[in-house]
Amino acid sequence: MDKSLGLGLIGGGFMGKAHALAYRAAPAVFGDLPSVRLCLFSDTPQESARTLGAQFGFADVTDDWRALVNDPAVHIVSITTPNALHHDIALAAIAAGKHVHCEKPLALTLKQAQDMESAARKAGVRTIVGYNYLHNPMVQHAQQLIAAGMIGRPVHFRGWVDEDYQADPDLHWTWRSRRADAGLGTLGDLGCHLVSVSHLLMGPIDSLIADTQIIHATRPLPAGTGNAPVENEDTASAIVRYASGAHGTLCSSRAAWGRKNKLDWEVHGTKGMITFSQERLNELQLYINEGPKSTQGFRTILAGPDHLPYRQFCPAPGHQLGFGDLKTIEAASFLRAIAAGTEAFPSFTDALGFETVIHSIDAAARQGRRITL
């Protein structure tokens, strides 16, 4: 009997390609995973589905995502559509008994995200959400160092995530600027990644205060037909308290000129510090307050075979993993969870925790008060 898993992918943009490549690569890279059949690809219009489906290697295509969700050959539904479609597709897939791999954020609103998490938990299907930076071997190594007490008791987290894709005031208005289509702005697109890393390294956030900013109040519509309002935030800043008693700051901007993927963070401990920059994703900086002061300083740890699962990709240290490799690790972890009947990380339940934080940041900024989660 064929024990392979059938993949149905909905959405053919950048993330759709990333998912297709990841699921094709994961069984070959790791070897201990169930095989994956690229069964069905969905996009609109039909011509786009045919072109991209052939490029990605799918056996068949459709322009109707509902047909994909209900196809008995599909076991995993991978959702890489614009945010507004996540909720309906995920609920339909869960109702059909499919495992769901959904890109972040889960949905436009916290209520929609709660509905998705509840439905998946009650149905008993496996879920994972595309917080792929959590799967970086160096981020995992940092978590292990912190758990082992290498830097003492963690007391402060400082993180920021900046890009410049909305920095240009002359950039045309798109769906990303409207809450009905995108939900939150920089919080939903970028800040949620920072929150996910913060949670992994420091534990859950207990309370926060925050502020947000819309830098460009309107943007020009295409073809010179006027301007449209920007409804969601370009920047967000929060001062947080963790359940552990530690404090932290989280900042995010989608309008920071020159920043391409500046997901940076520091964990301050009572004995040292760990720092990281996503634009140098194969490096970790570690400072430990030990030995003569004259020889103390940050040391660079380069990713290598001892930082699992780096060795599955390359036997030599310092040869670099990339964004696509993190997606492959993410897909592999999901396939392994499905095969074992265990929970993947981050599941819909984990992601709901992350996204509760970003919606609380938005609410705290609007209400001008500290919010307890």
Contact 237, 210 (CB under 8 A): yes
Domain spans in the chain, listed from the N-terminal domain onward: 5-132, 135-372
Q: Which residues contact 197 (CB under 8 A, 6 or more apart)?
A: 133, 134, 139, 159, 263, 265
Q: Which CATH code for domain 135-372?
A: 3.30.360.10
Which of 220, 347, 145, 191 is CA-nearest to residue 183?
191
The answer to whether domain 5-132 and domain 135-372 are alike in fold is: no
Contact 103, 193 (CB under 8 A): no
pLDDT at 3: 78
Query: Rounded to two decimals, what is the model's pTM?
Result: 0.95
Tokens of 342: 């265990």
Q: Is the peptide bond before 229 cis (omega within 30 degrees of 0)?
A: no
pLDDT at 193: 98
Tokens of 316: 């030599």
Please give the biggest Cα pair distance in the chain.
Answer: 67
Taking the C-alpha atoms of residue 230 and residue 216, their distance in angstroms, rounded to an integer, is 7
Cβ-count burial 133-147 (b if 16+ within 10 Å, e if not) = bbbbbbbbbbbebbe
Taking the C-alpha atoms of residue 146 and residue 17, their distance in angstroms, rounded to an integer, is 34
Taking the C-alpha atoms of residue 73 and residue 70, their distance in angstroms, rounded to an integer, is 9
SS3 147: helix
Tell me the one-letter amino acid at 322.
G
CA contacts within 13 A on the Cβ side of 21? 13
Taking the C-alpha atoms of residue 163 and residue 336, their distance in angstroms, rounded to an integer, is 33
pLDDT at 1: 34
Taking the C-alpha atoms of residue 256 and residue 244, their distance in angstroms, rounded to an integer, is 32
Which of 97, 94, 124 is CA-nearest to residue 106?
94
Taking the C-alpha atoms of residue 354 and residue 360, their distance in angstroms, rounded to an integer, is 10
For the chain, the straight-line distance linking the first and the last C-alpha, in angstroms and rounded, comes to: 48
Question: What are the residue ranges in the chain where pLDDT is below 70?
Answer: 1-2
pLDDT at 223: 79
DSSP 151: T
Which of 111, 64, 109 is CA-nearest to residue 89?
64
Which of 311, 313, 335 is CA-nearest to residue 323?
313
Q: Strand 205-213 vs strand 218-220: parallel, antiparallel, or unpaired?
A: unpaired
Can you state the angle between helices 14-30 and 323-340, rounded to 10 degrees?
A: 60
Please provide the DSSP assignment of 38-82 as one string: EEEEE-SSHHHHHHHHHHHT-SEEES-HHHHHT-TT--EEEE-S-
pLDDT at 2: 52
Pseudo-torsion of CA 179, 12, 104, 4, nearest 10°?
A: 150
Taking the C-alpha atoms of residue 142 and residue 13, their distance in angstroms, rounded to an integer, is 32
Q: Which residues contact 233 (CB under 8 A, 6 or more apart)?
A: 184, 185, 186, 187, 212, 213, 214, 362, 365
Q: Which CATH code for domain 5-132?
A: 3.40.50.720
